[in-house]
Structure 1
Amino acid sequence: MVHSKRTKYRKYQKGRAKGVDPRSDVHFGSYGLKALEASRITEKQLEACRVAITRKIKKIGKIWIRIHPDIPVSAKPTEVRMGKGKGAIDYWMCRVKAGKVMFEIDGVSSELAKKALILGASKLPIATAFIMKEKPIAQ
């Protein structure tokens, strides 16, 4: 699993995932997976998506993960009485705004990239879109 090794505080508040990220674009690869709605993504969902994409493109292309689960979420065990402090860290998550590019791929064909990213998107709890890098206009 992928999560932060060190944070400023051990426990955080989850907060809300809302807003739009208008400047997020494909920078490293040629194809990307863009979030269409704001949500929280856990490290398990991110890892499942990464594994699905990697298996589909095999060893041909390269993959970039543009989001990182950096917020610890605590939970208390079931059937525990109220009080006695905040629970232990249960999992890690990241907040994703609408319009954020989460994954990028390069070195594969357009059809393979689309299949791989759609397969990866099925592992995520949000609506996503397949996008391509815009080619600069020659003058």
Structure 2
Amino acid sequence: MLLQPKKTKYKKIQKGKLSKFDFRSNKLRFGSIGLKAAKAGTISSRQIEAARQAIVRKLNRKGKLWIRVFPSIPITAKPIEVRMGKGKGALSHWGVKVSAGTVLFEICGISRNIAITAFKTGGAKLPVRTIILL
């Protein structure tokens, strides 16, 4: 189950700039332990799903997991060996721009040791460096 929006206003968007720090979503809201991005970057929906599966596998159907980010940005790509120009490429995948300090995942109702090992395996699947919030 890959994450993607049901409906968008525009098919393609401009890249824009990525802020270095995020102060709105840098605290735990739902769980007791969280996984936080230490560096800014773009995370695709496949990477979020891979991290989610790795975390859930370590939890052994105990506790509750929250995903705090949603990939709502369409990322486009042109085919290989295509000349410059001729417009923007077709939709490749969905992603989310994450700034440093954003909480990505939260866990509640599980022991601290299991949660730390789960977040270490899940954080290894992500392209940004992560920190575990206790």
> TM-score, normalized by length of structure 2?
0.93
Mapped to 1, the partners of 2:16 and 2:115 lie a distance apart of 33
1:50 corresponds in structure 2 to 52
Structure 1 residue 82: deviation in Å? 3.0
Contact 1:13 1:73 in 2 (8 A): no
Higher deviation after alignment, 81-90 or 62-71: 81-90
Identity %: 49
Mapped to 1, the partners of 2:55 and 2:31 lie a distance apart of 14
Deviations 1:69-117 (A, max 9, x none): 0000111111223333221100111111111110000111000000000
Deviating beyond 6 angstroms after TM superposition, the runs of 4 or more aligned structure 1 residues are none
Structure 1 residue 125: deviation in Å? 1.3
Which one has a bigger Cα radius of gyration? 1
Number of aligned residue pairs:
132
Residue ranges of structure 2 left out of the alignment (5+ in a row): none
Deviations 1:50-72 (A, max 9, x none): 01001110211110000010000
Task: Determine whether 1:39 maps to 2:50.
Answer: no
Residue ranges of structure 1 left out of the alignment (5+ in a row): 133-139
Deviations 1:20-62 (A, max 9, x none): 1134211101100011111111111111100100111021111
2:103 corresponds in structure 1 to 101
> TM-score, normalized by length of structure 1?
0.90
RMSD: 1.1
2:72 corresponds in structure 1 to 70
1:136 corresponds in structure 2 to none
